[in-house]
Amino acid sequence: MDRIKELKSRFKPNNIDCFLITSRNNIYYLTGFTGDAGILFIAPRKAKLITDYRFQGEVVDRVRNAEVCLTKKKYIEELATLRVIKRKERVGFESKYVPYNLYWEIRKKFNWLKFKSFDSFVEDLRLRKSGDEIENIKKACKIADKAFTGVLGYIKEGVREIEIAAELEYRMKKLGGEKPSFDTIVASGFRSAIPHGTASDKKLKKGEFITIDFGTYYNGYASDTTRTVFLGTPTLRDKKIYNTVYYAQKNAREATEEGVKLKVLDKIARDYIKENGYGKYFTHSLGHGVGLDVHEAPIISYRNNNGIAEKGMVFTIEPGIYIPDYQGTRIEDTVAILDGRVEVLTNLERELIVL
């Protein structure tokens, strides 16, 4: 599929003539370029990828649908010499990825142009994944799942959270993962009540929940999974907390289907947690999209009034309960909306694992 051609079809409805792309992931999505420096300028008849000679090999092998310009100049200076921008044209750009100093450099260099900022011009295309993209995410999920299973025997009293994270990241890479999707979360005991408790020097103790949130990249696409295990013997309170999250996640996951409102999925999980007395301890949205970024659109939230689950979307379902000065629990799966069905891409045990 020519994604640049598809992007161009959105120019006229958005009242622009050209588009400047600086996001590394968006450049990769549109051209296949894997270098970490460059800009992509899409004009009505041409697309120019401007980068430097460090990436010459990758450019030759990977770039599609764009003409490559290798330069020793600043990228914006090179763009000015290419004469692909006509006077009075309206140029769109990515407001999230253009630093203030670069914006003013562009305005100074092209002071005769009109500029229009967009938050999610390319991301709107990325929202619905192709079959190949979903297969890459699925492979990343399988790698992460297998690595997690291998780490369970390593979780013992006295082991530091950071050691668990290191072992998990090592196993994901050994199994073919490119790099972690994010800083691996290993949060035990009172730290499990911190939703994003990145692994610390804290040692594991018996009588604790251990929340592990992890993922890897495969062919540029991310995975995201969370499982919470228990070290020792859980109390009745611990079991109730875990089971509340378990059924909230199960109910939302099983309600996921093409056409369902995304805020409804959030409500299903949130209402169940409220009914069991823990409503104020579920402090974040139910989920988020997964793709080239581990956190991207759509947002699965009660605040998302217009979002609907559409074919090609990939997103997480991850309710949690976080009780300050006590403990917390989260269960997270990644799901894909396929043609007439939903596939859960993460398939680890969901019932409480007691070690």
In DSSP notation, 203-237 reads BP-TTEEEEEEE-BEETTEE--EEEEEEES---HH
Does the bond joining 99 to the residue before it have cis omega, within 30 degrees of 0? no
- Contact by Cβ (8 Å): 333, 256: no
Quote the tokens at residue 82: 């290419």
pTM above 0.85, yes or no: yes
Q: What does the domain layout of the chain look like in residue ranges?
A: 3-126, 131-354
- Contact by Cβ (8 Å): 32, 61: no
pLDDT for the residue numbered 103: 85
**Which residue in 152, 355, 352, 156 sits closest to 239, CA to CA?**
352
pLDDT tens-digit readout, 201-252: 999 999 999 999 999 999 999 999 999 999 999 999 999 999 999 999 999 9
What is the C-alpha separation between 82 and 91, in angstroms, rounded? 16
Q: Tell me which architecture the domain covering 3-126 has in CATH.
A: 3-Layer(aba) Sandwich (3.40)
pLDDT for the residue numbered 1: 65
CATH topology of domain 131-354: Creatine Amidinohydrolase (3.90.230)
Lowest pLDDT segment from 110-114, 121-125, 178-182: 110-114
pLDDT tens-digit readout, 294-345: 999 999 999 999 999 999 999 999 999 999 999 999 999 999 999 989 999 9
